[in-house]
Amino acid sequence: MNQYFVYILLCSDNSYYTGITNDLERRLYEHDNGISPSSYTSKRRPVKLVFHERFPDPAQAIAFEKQIKGWNRTKKEALINRDWHLLPELSVRKKQT
């Protein structure tokens, strides 16, 4: 059975990185060890896994990753904390005055 993971890392500069993988343990090793020197997390180590969700279908995982990448920090933190009830409220765009 194939599995895919959408994950969020907390970087040393307090930023979040969202990614997708079919091997979470391997991918965390790569982030932790700076395997890709030009990657976002390479200069922001150490990183900490703060959220992950498993998907059986790669299309669902990709769609969820793209959705999260469009979210602001507050909404990402609600997801990380599993505060599901806050997500709809945080989805409403604030009117600009």
pTM of the model: 0.92
Neighbours of 47 (CB within 10 A): 21
CATH for the 4-91 domain, from 3.40.50.1260, 3.30.200.20, 3.40.1440.10, 3.10.450.200:
3.40.1440.10
Average confidence (pLDDT) per 10 residues, the chain, 97 residues: 94 98 97 94 97 97 97 96 92 61
ω before 46 within 30° of 0 (cis)? yes
Q: Give me the residue spans of the domains in the chain.
A: 4-91
